[in-house]
Structure 1
Amino acid sequence: MNIKTCLTAMTVALTTLGATSAYAEGERFVFVSHAPDSDSWWNTIKTALTEAEAQLGVTVEYRNPPTGDIADMARIIEQAAATNPDGIISSLADFDALSGPLTDAIERGIPVITVNSGTEEQSAKIGAMMHIGQPESLAGRKAGERAMAEASPKSFLCVNHYITNAASVDRCSGFAEGIGVDLGSQMIDSGQDPSEIKNKVLAYLAANPETDAILTLGPTSAAPTLEALKENGLAGEIYFGTFDLSAEIADGIKNDVISWAIDQQPYYQGYLPVVLLTNFNRYGLALPSNIASGPGFVTKDTIDLVAEEAGVHR
């Protein structure tokens, strides 16, 4: 039985039990992300939360700092803990800034699962129950190794739209390791404004015409980079890989501009912690070990299978 079948069976069982069990009391969980309002990648996680709510009869409140400010995120976690929810699910984008509020929540007796950003080791250090996400250094290294097998680049540009998130730097440095070069100055802080990203990519490639490959870290940086390559005539001429999926990324793969996208399966990062916390709250079931939701490569050979779900379930 594959994981999707197992999850479906689990959900059906929980829903059925929830209709009759004295333990099903409409739990309330809070999901806190580091994403700004402008980051569409998180729509897949929001879909997962909504579907988990409906299936399990729980409430999940999604909260985030509108501008992506980590200090604001820390305050959101503190405010969430003060409401004494049945569980908190949080990304761990900045360990130094977020470990304190999350540890405080745990010490209040609130179950915490970390997802997406951060590492299994950091999650364990604060006392969280588990971590669900993609090992980012590994994902970056696998991306670099794939690039070497397909194009043997000697230099690259990593377009980092969230440089304050350690996981994003891990992706860039892992890619450098995978192709066997030093990261050096090949990572740029692009910011999150599409026009600014496009102009910075154009400027870097103009100043470094020997660049063999480009790595973007998600839809926020991938879409403007695609526009930059159309403008300077390098679309389809320079090796281009990216993390995550979106409609623009799917089109780039179909049109042979992007070679592949790394799918960390964000749906699992939203859906699984809600299911697991519900099991824990209702039945006292122990949580399993950490779950690596990625990496997996989506290529032109497989894009048709996932394109229609990009931004929804993929």
Structure 2
Amino acid sequence: MKLRIKNTLLHGVVTAVLASAVMIPSITQAADEPVRIAFVTHGQAGDSYWNALKKGMEDAAKETGAKVSYQAPEAFDPIAMSRMIDAAVAAKVNGLVVSVPDAAALQKSIKAADASGIPVIVVDSGEGDVQKVGAKFYVGSAAEYEAGKLAGERYKAAGVKNPICLNHEVGNVAIDDRCRGFKDGMGGNAPVVAMTMDPTDITSRVGAYLASHPDVDGILATSSSVANVLIVDLRKKGTLTKYKFGSFDVSPELLDGVAKGDVFFALDAQQYMMGYLPVVMLNNQAKYGLLPLNNVYTGPLFVSTKADAEKVLTLSKQGYR
């Protein structure tokens, strides 16, 4: 009887251990082989926002020894992104990091990566689509809509009555949500002015709108690249201080403006960590089967005081913010 009980208990322990072992990710990467990680985002070349993310990616690659690549279309193009993801899957990378500005266009390719056993981390945009596209989790600024709403509430509290929201990527859910949240934070009054990332297009569209709407008293940019162009343009015209001017993301130009007092705020997403953390995480997953279970939020942080702006400005000039 005692022997039977012991055998039963032993069987139960072994069964439990085996069951738990099934939950541990398989580890196939040899110790002497570099982990290969591919980034595919909608970030365009020369954009200071994405340059900080790439610096984080490159720094993490040096520290971990991982072999990391970065690809993005020359212009906003989710279809081109899907092809780049397909190519990374075909190359059998160990991990994939993607932004998801358009889940409908990207989910087939991302799900194919997951089906192939390639763990996918979403960065920057697509927090709400992580499960839909078959990714593991999200690393980036939390809830673009909520961040936009907080920005709107700040404008409203500052006495702004007629602001505009500048959307440089209409159709990108994250950017659309920023403007939607901003409008709601303002109580329903914040028209969207659409444009591309081309500097001439930015100045001409915004200039034309401001000329035909002289009651505008606030401007919210949804990209530091757009904000940088307008800061220079409006300063030349001597009209920057006419508006409460704020922007998502940070750049030396925006931070310098906050320090000088002619920029209302810059919203820091700390995108360096969006590049750095996924490399470390996917490297650990490939080597040791370790991977976080939940989203990791890197922002948003309002930079609105001279002291904060000067601190972040030093880091921004070094490419970290």
For the criterion TM > 0.5, the same-fold answer is yes
**How far apart are the structure 2 equivalents of 1:123 and 1:22?**
29
Q: Tell me the CA shift for residue 307 of structure 1.
A: 0.2
Matched-pair identity in %: 37
Q: Is the aligned partner of 1:304 residue 2:310?
A: yes
- Identify which of 155, 160, 177 aligns with 2:162: 155
**How far apart are the structure 1 equivalents of 2:94 and 2:293?**
18
Q: Is the aligned partner of 1:59 residue 2:67?
A: yes
Q: What secondary structure sits across from 2:245 in the alignment? A: strand
1:97 corresponds to? 105
Q: Tell me the CA shift for residue 142 of structure 1.
A: 1.1
**How far apart are the structure 1 equivalents of 2:154 and 2:296?**
23
- TM-superposition CA deviations, 1:84-128 (whole Å, max 9, x none): 000000000111111111111111111100110112x31112221
The 8 Å contact of residues 38 and 97 in structure 2, kept in 1 or not, is answered as yes
1:190 corresponds to? 195
- Identify which of 201, 212, 215 aligns with 2:206: 201
- Identify which of 211, 221, 227 aligns with 2:226: 221
Q: Is the aligned partner of 1:260 residue 2:245?
A: no
Aligned ranges for residues 164-179 of structure 1 at < 5 Å? 164-179=171-186
Counterpart of 1:104 in structure 2: which amino acid? A
The 8 Å contact of residues 140 and 174 in structure 1, kept in 2 or not, is answered as yes
The 8 Å contact of residues 259 and 307 in structure 2, kept in 1 or not, is answered as no
2:19 corresponds to? none
- TM-superposition CA deviations, 1:253-273 (whole Å, max 9, x none): 122221110000001111111
2:244 corresponds to? 239
**How far apart are the structure 2 equivalents of 1:129 and 1:23?**
24
Tell me the C-alpha RMSD between the 2 structures: 1.6
With normalisation by structure 1, the TM-score equals: 0.88
Q: Is the aligned partner of 1:251 residue 2:256?
A: yes
**How far apart are the structure 2 equivalents of 1:194 and 1:173?**
24
Q: Tell me the CA shift for residue 178 of structure 1.
A: 1.0
Aligned ranges for residues 99-138 of structure 1 at < 5 Å? 99-119=107-127, 121-134=128-141, 135-138=143-146
Counterpart of 1:122 in structure 2: which amino acid? D
**How far apart are the structure 2 equivalents of 1:264 and 1:275?**
19
Q: Tell me the CA shift for residue 24 of structure 1.
A: 5.7
Structure 1 segments unaligned to the other structure (5+ residues): 1-20
Larger radius of gyration: 2
2:216 corresponds to? 211
**How far apart are the structure 2 equivalents of 1:257 and 1:204?**
21
Matched positions, count: 290
The 8 Å contact of residues 198 and 225 in structure 1, kept in 2 or not, is answered as yes
Counterpart of 1:266 in structure 2: which amino acid? Q
With normalisation by structure 2, the TM-score equals: 0.86
Q: Tell me the CA shift for residue 301 of structure 1.
A: 3.1
Q: What secondary structure sits across from 1:310 in the alignment? A: helix
Q: Tell me the CA shift for residue 231 of structure 1.
A: 4.3
Mean CA deviation greater in 56-65 or 277-286: 277-286
